[in-house]
Amino acid sequence: EIVMTQSPATLSVSPGERATLSCRASQSVSSDLAWYQQKPGQAPRLLIYGASTRATGIPARFSGSGSGTEFTLTISSLQSEDFAVYYCQQYNNWPPITFGQGTRLEIK
């Protein structure tokens, strides 16, 4: 099973600033990496797949990068609606599909 590890657990950033979230896989997942956003009381929403492809309707301020074992989600110029929990997930070698433990992005 591929273990996904996200850092940091909590990130405090001011509105308008840039946020950088990291995700590491225990073995290479090529570019088969997705990012999800989850707000309180809501289902997760797909943001990024293929490590860098934005899902339908996702604003351009969200960008993903990386391959192999190291990945980054960058949110430029944070908006109030971006404060949420973010999960990375690998689909290179499934089952099982595995998620990171999440990064909580909070307002500084």
Partner 1 sequence: EVQLVESGGGLIQPGGSLRLSCAASGFTFTNYVMSWVRQAPGKGLEWVSAISGTSLSTYYADSVKGRFTISRDNSKNTLYLQMNSLRAEDTAVYYCAKGQRGILAAGILEYWGQGTLVSVSS
> For binding to partner 1 (CB under 8 A), which residues are involved?
32, 34, 36, 38, 42-46, 49, 55, 87, 89-92, 94-102
Report the C-alpha gap between 76 and 8 in whole angstroms: 17
Q: How far is the CB of 96 from partner 1 (least distance, A)?
A: 5
Judged by phi (left if over 0) then psi (alpha if -120 to 50, else beta), residue 80 lies in alpha
Q: How far is the CB of 64 from partner 1 (least distance, A)?
A: 13
- Residue placing its CB nearer to partner 1 in the complex, 38 or 76: 38
Q: How far is the CB of 48 from partner 1 (least distance, A)?
A: 10
- Residue placing its CB nearer to partner 1 in the complex, 66 or 100: 100
- Burial letters for 37-73: b for 16+ Cβ neighbours within 10 Å, e otherwise? beeeeeebeebbbebbebeeebeeebbbebeebebbb
- Residue placing its CB nearer to partner 1 in the complex, 35 or 83: 35
